[in-house]
Structure 1
């Protein structure tokens, strides 16, 4: 495949793929609804990008404050609710 389009912007890659200009390797969360609607198809379903995870960084203490633990738990639960997007 040859062409002159080049970008490091995932949203621009998505638009180009939707416009029929080629294939795009973008984060699943960016095209999740396009895949569900069938406007894009996953041509390499077994190919998965690097999973980096989500990390909470806070000052070390023997016992983190209750607020910090509550926030981390909230973020964890919200992430698990939308994990299918990733």
Structure 2
């Protein structure tokens, strides 16, 4: 069924998601945009598509991620235990 690609990148005044030649609305921070991209990616997976989610690492120096790795909640269970 194809592949869905989502790229989160900085934009004037916030962060946006690039997908299918279009640009999303602006998000206040990279983490919010990443979460929205992952939500869209989950739907694409349900639709049977391969998914690629990327984050442009050229972020503004003042932008933080709340002292956790981007996507940590996707690879680490909520209870903190590892498999």
Q: Which has the larger radius of gyration?
A: 1
Which protein, 1 or 2, shows the higher relative CO under an 8 Å CA cutoff with sep ≥ 6?
Answer: 2
TM-score, with normalisation over the residues of structure 2? 0.28
Q: Which has the higher strand share?
A: 2
Structure with greater proportional helix content: 1
TM-score (norm 1): 0.27
